[in-house]
Amino acid sequence: MSYDIRFERVVDATPHAAFTHWLDPEAQRRWYALDDGWVVESEADLRVGGAWRVEFGPSREETYVEHGVFEELDPPHKAVYTVNHEYPDGRKPYLTRVTVTFAPHEQGTLLTLLDTGFPSAAQRDEIEGGWPSFLDEFERTLPGDAPPSS
């Protein structure tokens, strides 16, 4: 049995701006910081087959690590990537797959997130409980938008 998470949210940005903000390591350093003083390091090789990694947490001694590989990048519409979840308390890591789509919407962009393949309901529930805070920070840190250059 697979345990999955799905969220939809309309954000006040173009699909291009939302897609870029989702994947850009500099932007991730802002929206992964759930509280002032959080440590966030982020890097990404933005190509299919490229690796990405984010380390975040309240201190250097207590960081969570997420890393994986990009499986599909279709700017500004869709990103698919694996996520290896690692915890500071030594729990066994596990792998999920995230698909994020960015569709035009009359109020900006409809962001749809699908996080699949959790090995247990408890692991899914823990991550599902955290996603809303990350989505709030993602939306709060979205920059003012300008149309992409041609």
Domain-embedded: residue 31: yes
Any domain includes 150 = no
Domain membership of residue 147 (yes or no) is: no
Return the CATH number at 128: 3.30.530.20
Q: Which of the 8 DSSP states describes residue 12?
A: S
State the average pLDDT for the chain.
93
> Per the structure, how many domains does the chain have?
1
Is 145 inside a domain boundary?
no
Q: What is the pLDDT of residue 147?
A: 45
Higher local confidence (pLDDT), 42 or 146:
42
> Is position 114 within any domain?
yes
- By residue range, what is the domain housing residue 108? 3-140
Tell me: the pLDDT tens digits for 105-117?
A: 999 999 999 999 9
Q: Taking the model in full, what pTM does it have?
A: 0.91
